[in-house]
Structure 1
Amino acid sequence: MSNPIEVKATLQPAYDHIIVGGGVAADKAARAIREVAPDASVLIISDISDGPLYRPGLSKDLWLKPNAELDSIDLATKENTGAELLLGTRVTALDPKGHTVTTADGQQVGYGKLLLATGASARHIGTPDDERIVYYRNADDYRHLRSMVSEGTRVAIVGGGYIASEMAAGLAAVGADVSVHFPGKRILEQMFPDSITGHLSKLYESKGVSLNGDFFLDSLSAGEKLVLKSTSGDEVVADVVVLGLGAAPNIQLAEEAGLTLEMGGVLVDETLATSAPDIYAAGDIATYDDPILGRRRVEHMAMAERSGDTAGRTMAGERTEYRYTPLFWSDLFDDGYEAVGETRTNHRVEEHWNDEHTAAVLYYLDDNDVVRGVLLWNTWDSVPKAREVMAASKEGKLAASELAGQITPGG
């Protein structure tokens, strides 16, 4: 895939369906619309300069697989759906009454049905405007970061969560000298108990990644080298800094249009319809009623895929309900996991390991001993069973004392 260029298309006055956003949810929605209503016109407007990509590849395959290129994660949305793509273009206004959107270059376009799939943006803090400081989120960020990293490049990652853990593994795999700096005691401690974080600490260090807890960033200065200073006065010198501080949902367009918001997202019903007629929301920004966990908002790939498909089908005339508890997953060097629900260590965690202590099933229980999340550590093909356990626990059909043996670790 060559570097994209911004294309100013000549648009129709109106489309049957407009999708605002250029990620996986947009791709899935366009595919569903095409399947249900082959003759419908579809326009995808995205402020990103690439068409929809399989986003997990940006922090996984492109770093971990030899010779992997951006083409390998391109979803080929236009070719597979016939949708018109308007890239590198921001939608600045949404008029629910007039059924129109307005772009930054002044184009106004009408719609029959609209999907907001605007995703989330990397959280920013006050940092110098320097190309060596990267907030990692999209393909342009990948191109830029990859161009600066080679064998021995000193890369400091700030953050101890999901994206920081994956980027540390990926950058180490291509030979960078990686250090990770985070305020907690151990990386991913908000998700994993000591049994796993202790293992990960040893694993990352064995791969040459330096993990530095109790690091509270005070300042980041850009001179000949980048210098990070902690609140305790410690300094870290780096060639490149990657900031992995989480993401914020892109809900400004919905908010300004008067759509109902809740839990930091756009509130939707069982068909992913918003409070405004003919407007739907999917992916990171959708606040919905999970059939097991209740009202929540989820920023993971499975959510984007399934909700995009559901919204597209309903928009095209095939009413479909979103009744789904999404999973998420990651690979960390030679280990991997799949998980469902609230895998947070502020819940009580019950651990079940195999005899070799290489695989585990972890249950996350609330104060009422109801299972709110399941983590499958090096345990595969068990997500459906994990959902069954959570549903049975919620309904009072499975006691906490009966969890042992429900899922076999390492299965």
Structure 2
Amino acid sequence: MAEFRYVIIGGGMAADSAAQGIREIDEEGSIAIISDDVDEPYTRPALSKRLWTDESFDESDNYFDTAEATGARITLRTEATAVDVEAKSVMTTHGDFTYDKLLFVTGGRPKGIDLDEGERVICFREFNDYRRLRDLSGQNLSIAVIGGGFIGTELAAALVQNDTRTTLIFDDDTLGGSIFPPDLAKQFHELYRSHGVTLVPGTKASGGHADGDRVVLDCDGESHEFDAVVVGLGIEPATQLAEEAGLDTDDGIIVDESLRTSKPDVFAAGDVARYPDRILGRQRVEHVDNATQMGKAVGRIMAGADESYTHTPYFYTNVFDFGYQAVGELDPALRTVEDWKKPHTDGVVYYLGEDGRVRGVLMVNMEDRLDDAREILAEDWDHTPGDLVTRIS
């Protein structure tokens, strides 16, 4: 039974940040990180962004060097199988651990379809998935990307920019239609077409099978063949271990404003944590800013800091020459106010609820205005277009 002051289940970005947060307060306390990944903590966004587009940034640059920086003992290829909150112990496939403080940063598992993973079928989530997909790119192969959200659109852009015949299959009638106002979505859709991505809108890929060196997809009753398929449909929060340990869960592990779970000395952070945001209310966020900021905060709290998590995270994407940052809820079904310096290229879109309160702010090709967006989101009153136009732009 290995004894540690802090045990962290999960080896992603939130785990690295938590170890750093611990070290800000506690320089000596022993830290164990239990990870079922084959890699030590790394930057996840680069798997669908920078590693594909920046020749000066390679795989070795993508690691955090967590063990060296914090002294944490990282156990890879290891699954935590049970947690006993009374005995303060964690059972794993490679031995047992005891803890004073325990942190769940278990993230999530990639959503799939009825299609078995294999050499040419990848459910994209981890560094190893990037390596497999990278080996398939640039060989004049035909690769289908399933999913029109963050991961799907970023992977489609990455592949087509690396000499790969790319098809993007998605549910929306227009790419980006589930988050952008109609005119911006149309431009986003055309951006992909103009770069050579074959778009298959309004289509659901429900399953398929491998047939030799080909993969056959079932798309709304029709069959389509590709050399490879990558699924980028987001994640399901990994809560089973927490549920079995008796923690409260609901689309994630429920935590309070100090990231404590329903059990003493047990915390959760990152993609798996459902927390009370001071502006937006209780939510679960699957983006890098939340993972790093929440991870750092929970590390400090576990080590004895008297603080709450008050950061409202942002999210972003960069594809081709189009990039945005956003805070809050992006839903084109809400009333929108658009404020463009250059139509659909540089500007801001505000998403307003029925009460006139701003619920989301999208900033296209604009930087360093996140605090302004958060300030507007925190304003609890009815906004008119005149209140908003030119306020950020």
Structure 2 length as normaliser, TM-score?
A: 0.96
Report if aligned partners of 1:259, 1:266 keep a CA contact under 8 Å in 2: yes
Partner of 1:405: 390
Matched, 1:223 2:194: no
Q: 2:335 aligns with which of 336, 348, 351?
A: 348
Distance 1:32 1:128 in 2: 39
Alpha-carbon distance in structure 2 between the residues aligned to 1:33 and 1:115: 11
1:270-291 per-position Cα deviation (integer Å, ceiling 9, x unaligned): 1101110000000011111111
Classify 1:67/1:379 alpha carbon distance in 2 versus 1 (closer, same or farther; 3 Å): closer
Structure-1 residue corresponding to 2:283: 296
Matched, 1:254 2:242: yes
Q: CA offsets per residue over residues 334-364 of structure 1, 9 Å max, x none?
A: 0100000111223222211114552120011
307, 318, 329: which one aligns with 1:331:
318
**1:274 is matched with which residue?**
261
Give the direction of change, closer, same or farther, for the CA distance of 1:15–1:246 in structure 2 (3 Å limit): same
Change (3 A) 1:387 1:312: same
CA shift, 1:218, in A, is 4.1
Task: Report the equivalent of 1:109.
Answer: 97
Q: 1:401, CA displacement in angstroms?
A: 4.1
Look up the match of 2:158. Answer: 170
Number of aligned residue pairs: 392
Corresponding residue for 2:77? 88
CA distance in 2, matches of 1:144, 1:356: 39
1:48 corresponds, among 37, 43, 54, to 37
Show the counterpart of 1:18.
7
Report the CA distance shift for 1:75/1:129 in structure 2 as closer, same or farther (over 3 A).
closer
CA distance in 2, matches of 1:189, 1:357: 14
Aligned counterparts, 1:228-243, within 5 A: 228-233=217-222, 235-243=223-231
1:311 to 298, 307, 310: 298
Deviation (angstroms), 1:217:
2.0
3-state SS in 2 of match to 1:261 = coil
Give the AA of the match of 1:249.
P
- The equivalent residue for 1:141 is 129
Distance 1:397 1:350, change over 3 A: closer
What's the TM-score once normalised by structure 1's chain length?
A: 0.92
Q: Match of 1:58?
A: 47
SS of match in other structure, 2:267: strand
Pick from 365, 368, 385: which aligns with 2:355? 368
Residues 389 and 398 in structure 1, CA contact (< 8 A), matched pair in contact too: no
Counterpart-to-counterpart distance in 2, 1:356 and 1:103? 54
Q: Decide which moves more: 15-24 or 67-76.
A: 67-76
Q: Distance in 2 between matches of 1:76 and 1:67?
A: 19
Are the counterparts in 1 of residues 117 and 123 from structure 2 also a CA contact under 8 Å? no
Q: 2:356–2:381: 8 Å Cα contact kept in structure 1? A: no
Structure 1 SS opposite 2:4:
strand
* More deviation, 129-138/35-44: 129-138
Gaps of 5+ in 2: none
Cα deviation for residue 13 of structure 1 reads 2.5
3-state SS in 1 of match to 2:378:
helix
Q: For residue 77 of structure 1, what is the aligned residue in structure 2?
A: 66
Write the mapping of 1:186-201 to structure 2, written as runs, cut at 5 A: 186-201=174-189
Contact 2:179 2:330 in 1 (8 A): yes
What amino acid sits opposite 2:87 in the alignment? G
Moved more, 64-73 or 30-39: 64-73
Alignment-derived partner of residue 108 in structure 2: 120
Quick check: 58-67 or 273-282, which moved more?
58-67
Structure 1 residues 178-198: Cα deviation after superposition (integer angstroms, max 9, x where no partner): 010112111221111222221
| 1-structure distance, mates of 2:360, 2:183 | 17
Question: Helix, strand or coil: the match of 1:98?
Answer: coil
Q: 1:317 to 1:367 in 2, by over 3 A?
A: same
**1:259 partner amino acid:** L
Contact 2:355–2:382 under 8 Å retained in 1 = no
Q: Aligned partner of 1:177: which letter? A: R
Is the partner of 1:299 in helix, strand or coil? coil
Displacement, 1:229? Answer: 2.7
Contact 1:311 1:320 in 2 (8 A): no
Question: Structure 2: which amino acid aligns with 1:272?
Answer: L
Paired AA for residue 323 in structure 1: T
Distance in 2, Cα, partners of 1:199 & 1:376: 15
